Structure 1
Amino acid sequence: MNNIAEQLALAYQKLAKNCEQLPESRQPVQLIAVSKTQPDTAVLAAYEAGQRLFGENYPQELATKAEALAHLPDLQWHFIGPIQSNKTRIIAQYASWVHSIDRLKIAQRLSEQRPADSADLQVLLQINISDEASKSGIAATEMLALAASVNALPRITLRGLMAIPAPGDEHKVTADFAAMQALSMQLQAHYPAATELSMGMSNDWPLALPYGATMIRLGTAIFGARNYEKHE
């Protein structure tokens, strides 16, 4: 059986080693443990090993885990999957961060449905940097227009960008990461607080670090293989 605590420690060791090559002035890199399809017990094991940031892709699974683990007040949920309009209320209630804003309607619903007694929802715009027909996200040319609209909404705060480059050779993946870094700098020129850049997963995160990644999303590297069933 995969030892989550050991795998988590190894992931942080690798992250620290890779970060040694980055400028000291760089924003710290946060590790999001992607717990989708994993049981509550796996999340708890990672939490007990010191992990606090967890990523989920399915709204109902997020709600179930958030309620089961509500006694852990410093556990922070990041929603990183595609968002359907009829699922925004769940995400607005339970998530602290949303990485996958790809249209204004979703941002508006999250803004309207965010509980009044909760802190602002921190959001990232998802860029379809590889221009994949099957992938969520907006075109790079749409970024500033969507950013302006999202930034004007109450109860949510624009914090940066997210991307999932298409699998490919190292040259293609790094080119996509470089393009995301350029977009991030462009966004920050208009919104200085939008410094977060969520990119890099279990198979490519070391390539993302030199291009400004501030959040990496690791699932199988920590929890092992996923068991996909029916999810909402």
Structure 2
Amino acid sequence: MTTIAHQLHRVHEQIAIACQQCHRQPADVALLAVSKTFPAQAVREAALAGQRAFGENYIQEGVDKIAAVRAMTDLPALQWHCIGPVQSNKTKLVAQHFDWVHTVDRDKIAQRLNDQRPQELTPLQVCIQVNVDGGTTKSGCTPQAALALAQVITQLPRLQLRGVMSIPDPQPTDEAMLAVHRKVVQVFENIRTSGMNGLAQFDTISLGMTADMHTAIAAGSTMVRVGSGIFGARDYAKA
């Protein structure tokens, strides 16, 4: 078993333990392998070990990696998620190459992604990024603005609203981290129960990373984003 395959197995075990502790089913929590800064070969190893969904933060790096991986004829089709900030000058790349984008935080970005999504592709799957704890250095709309943004996205035919995403700051205790994670889940519930049209596939709470996925799962996360726990420590100088 390769190191990546071994680490991937360990992460699935950790998810199962976290689910058991809060009386949830492991099948209800998807794993997104965050492959930013790692080469296409690392993605290949994870894919051969059974991983199918991969997240990229840096858009151009992600586009290049998607092309390299798709050229590997021994791999099944993989699902690619953009989980980094999306500026206006990068929306076309995201719309053309990714399957999901987790970081839509304003009307303008949603509209550009919709207009630039090729007609031959299925609608782009979208999560609203929520800056739930008000961190000044982070992207994301406020929790209060999420419902209005959801209403905009559900009117755009080339986008499919799937849920919400957040990257809360670390907290000093698990109890404090759980409380913040629950605020994200509440934003999801506010949208889900709003009665607006276009929520038939609204099912995703993208929340929790390597260090905090246990509290995210306890709060109700349906997708955890794990990078170093699978691929090891990153060397950002090579990014």
TM-score, normalised on structure 2?
0.91
**Secondary structure at 1:109 match in 2:** helix
User: Please, which runs of 5 or more residues in structure 2 have no aligned partner?
Assistant: none
User: Please, which runs of 5 or more residues in structure 1 have no aligned partner?
Assistant: none
- Deviations along 1:26-50, one digit per CA (max 9) or x if unpaired, are 9711000000000111111101111
| 1:64 shift after superposition | 0.5
Shift in CA distance, 105/134, structure 1 to aligned 2, threshold 3 Å: same
- Deviations along 1:93-148, one digit per CA (max 9) or x if unpaired, are 11111110011111111111111111111000000011011000000110111110
* Partner of residue 233 from structure 2, selected from 201, 219, 225: 225
User: Is 101-110 or 24-33 further displaced after alignment?
Assistant: 24-33
Cα pair 2:18 2:218 within 8 Å, conserved: no
User: Is 182-191 or 95-104 further displaced after alignment?
Assistant: 182-191
Corresponding letter in the other structure for 1:31: L
TM-score, normalised on structure 1?
0.94
| 1:20 shift after superposition | 2.2
* Partner of residue 86 from structure 1, selected from 86, 89, 92: 89
- 1:89-104 equivalences in 2 (<5 Å): 89-104=92-107
Establish whether residue 38 from structure 1 lines up as the match of residue 38 from structure 2: yes
**Secondary structure at 1:201 match in 2:** coil
**Secondary structure at 1:229 match in 2:** helix
| 1:23 shift after superposition | 4.2
Shift in CA distance, 229/115, structure 1 to aligned 2, threshold 3 Å: farther
- 1:179-190 equivalences in 2 (<5 Å): 179-190=183-194
Cα pair 1:92 1:110 within 8 Å, conserved: yes
Partners of 2:146 and 2:200 lie apart in 1 by: 15
Identity of aligned residues (%): 44
Aligned to 1:113: 116
* Partner of residue 193 from structure 1, selected from 179, 189, 201: 201
| 1:17 shift after superposition | 2.2
Partners of 1:203 and 1:196 lie apart in 2 by: 20
- 1:105-184 equivalences in 2 (<5 Å): 105-170=108-173, 171-184=175-188
Cα pair 2:34 2:226 within 8 Å, conserved: yes
**Secondary structure at 1:125 match in 2:** strand
Shift in CA distance, 32/91, structure 1 to aligned 2, threshold 3 Å: same
Aligned to 1:5: 5
User: Is 82-91 or 66-75 further displaced after alignment?
Assistant: 66-75
Cα pair 2:19 2:25 within 8 Å, conserved: no
Partners of 1:197 and 1:79 lie apart in 2 by: 15
Partners of 1:17 and 1:166 lie apart in 2 by: 23
Partners of 2:148 and 2:238 lie apart in 1 by: 35
Divergent runs of 4+, >6 A = none
| 1:14 shift after superposition | 1.4
Partners of 2:47 and 2:119 lie apart in 1 by: 27
Partners of 2:109 and 2:238 lie apart in 1 by: 23
Partners of 1:114 and 1:37 lie apart in 2 by: 26
Shift in CA distance, 73/152, structure 1 to aligned 2, threshold 3 Å: farther
Partners of 1:78 and 1:87 lie apart in 2 by: 14
Partners of 2:79 and 2:168 lie apart in 1 by: 25
Partners of 1:106 and 1:145 lie apart in 2 by: 14
Partners of 1:212 and 1:24 lie apart in 2 by: 9
Cα pair 1:29 1:215 within 8 Å, conserved: yes
